[in-house]
Amino acid sequence: MNENTLGIIAGILTSISMIPQLIKVIREKNVDEISLVMLLVLISGLSLWVWYGFMKDELPIIVSNAFAVLVNISLLICYMLYKKSS
Amino acid sequence: MNENTLGIIAGILTSISMIPQLIKVIREKNVDEISLVMLLVLISGLSLWVWYGFMKDELPIIVSNAFAVLVNISLLICYMLYKKSS
């Protein structure tokens, strides 16, 4: 299999797996299961992966980790919104 | 920064962020928050990332995704153990 195709499929699968948690948090407006520290560690790590992707010039790495950063920043926004109101 | 160093730091951060969920599931013996389908999608995606890492010969990608596969296979084992008994 072509390396890029493989990376794109891998990226789609790992991206899909993150969506349900975001939907659940948005729907239930409940962030009790989310650890702020771990979310910040994860966002830092994913951002470094995006940087790594740019250095290596690998589009699958850049796109899938940038998507993961977006999902987890959305979770962070939910955390700040829903933690206040509880 | 060196590409490999960057990849290793990125891998350590994203790996650390997965540990608390595993500890929580093992400690509470509760897998209600885990979706089996999503876990299988995630394990497939991560395994493809390991394959991608081998094709590109990039150690940070191989090691961090192989670690993630191990963590999520552990979650899968917990799922099968604790789902039965409930």
Q: What is the pLDDT of residue A15?
A: 93
Q: Chain B residues with CB inside 8 Å of A12's CB? A: 45
Confidence at residue B33, expressed as pLDDT on a 0 to 100 scale: 82
Which pLDDT belongs to residue A85? 59
**Contact check, Cβ <8 Å, B17/A61:** no
Which residues are within 8 A (CB) of A48 and not within 5 positions of it... i.e. 6 or more apart?
B6, B9, B10, B13
Domain ranges of chain B: 3-85
CB-closest option in B10, B44, B56 to A13: B44
pLDDT (tens digit, 9 = 90+) per residue, A71-81?
999 999 999 99
Per-residue tens of pLDDT for chain B, all 86 residues: 799 999 999 999 999 999 999 999 999 998 888 899 999 999 999 999 999 999 999 999 999 999 999 999 999 999 999 986 55
Model pLDDT, residue B59: 96
Q: Which class does domain A3-85 fall in?
A: mainly alpha
